[in-house]
Amino acid sequence: MWLTAMKTLPLASQEASGAIEAYHVKLKVKLFDDSHLGALQRVDWLVHKLTTELHSSYWLDRYADESDSFQTVKEEYINSTSWHRALQIPDTDVTLDNLFAKIISQNDRTRVHLVWNPGSEFAFCDCDWSLRGNLCKHVIKVNMICEGHSAYQSSTSFQSYQDILTSMFKKPHDDSLELDLSVAWLHQIHDQIQKLVELNRSTDIGMVVNKLPLKWGPKKNRTLLCRQPAVRPCVGSGSASKNVIVRKKGRKRRRLSSIR
């Protein structure tokens, strides 16, 4: 049943798994780094902390990484994600074998880490971070190198992606609804692939970010967009408008006479 589920269900890639893990680590740091932990037992305080501190700091980290600004924030964000730390490991420090791969530690050059099942989603390392059940930088680096070797099979998520594409092409030609749905899915997947290819080949991440649908704008513009214009009532000309003005003046005189 496990193998059948792996073949039929689409699986998340290492990029998505690394992003989810980095978000979860930041969540735990923000929640437990508080002097008033007892207040988090209340649901309203927990929601307030998530919406005001966690999400805002997470998007600040993403913006600092994409726009190459806020260098201190960017360095903290890079150091907190396994995917970015794996990019800092040189290829010369990785040695591939049939059953495992060896990676020289970046902190201690005399220590060597072993990664079993290289090139697979089930790869695991003997480092402390991987033994805790996390996705370490050594596993990501090894799988990056294995992608360029023909001796290693493609990932399970890529095989599932190929199965989805082939199943779309096998739809009956006389079913217009299924064909329209398949064409819509293919166009969406094609656009996502083009964005990923452009992101990998681009040397300036800022130009790619500016082309995305979600754009960063100054606070003043965001406030003006959310603020609704004030609607002023139009006073028509004629006897009806004059009667309204006379009534208001009469009410004002009565209030002044009662005060005196």
pLDDT digits (tens, 9 = 90+) for 52-64: 666 666 666 666 6
- Structure confidence at residue 219 (pLDDT): 47
Cα 237–239–243 angle (5° rounding)?
110
In the chain, the number of structural domains is 3
Q: Note whether residue 184 is domain-resident.
A: yes
Q: Of the ranges 44-53, 140-149, 202-211, which is most confident?
A: 140-149
Angstrom distance (rounded) from CA 115 to CA 126: 7
> Which string of DSSP letters, residue by residue, matches 134-202?
---HHHHHHHHHHTT-TTSPPPHHHHHHHHHHHHHHTS-TT-HHHHHHHHHHHHHHHHHHHHHHHHHH-
Q: Which of 19, 26, 4 is nearest to 82 (CA)?
A: 19
- Structure confidence at residue 116 (pLDDT): 87
- What percent of the chain stands above pLDDT 70? 46
Q: Note whether residue 109 is domain-resident.
A: yes
Q: Would you give the distance in Å from CA 241 to the centre of its chain?
A: 57
Greater confidence (38 vs 109) lies with 109
Task: Output the CA–CA distances (angstroms, integers) from residue 95 to 26, 101, 118, 151, in the order listed.
Answer: 32, 6, 11, 15
Average pLDDT over residues 31-58: 65
Cβ atoms of 163 and 125 closer than 8 Å? no
Q: Note whether residue 260 is domain-resident.
A: no
- Structure confidence at residue 22 (pLDDT): 72
pLDDT tens string 151-207? 777 666 677 777 777 777 777 777 777 777 777 877 777 777 777 677 666 666 556
* Mean pLDDT score across all residues of the chain: 68
Whether the per-residue pLDDT at 83 is higher than 60: the answer is yes
Q: Which residue range is the domain that position 185 belongs to?
A: 171-210
Q: Note whether residue 245 is domain-resident.
A: no
Q: Note whether residue 231 is domain-resident.
A: no
Residue 149: pLDDT band by 50, 70, 90 thresholds?
Answer: confident
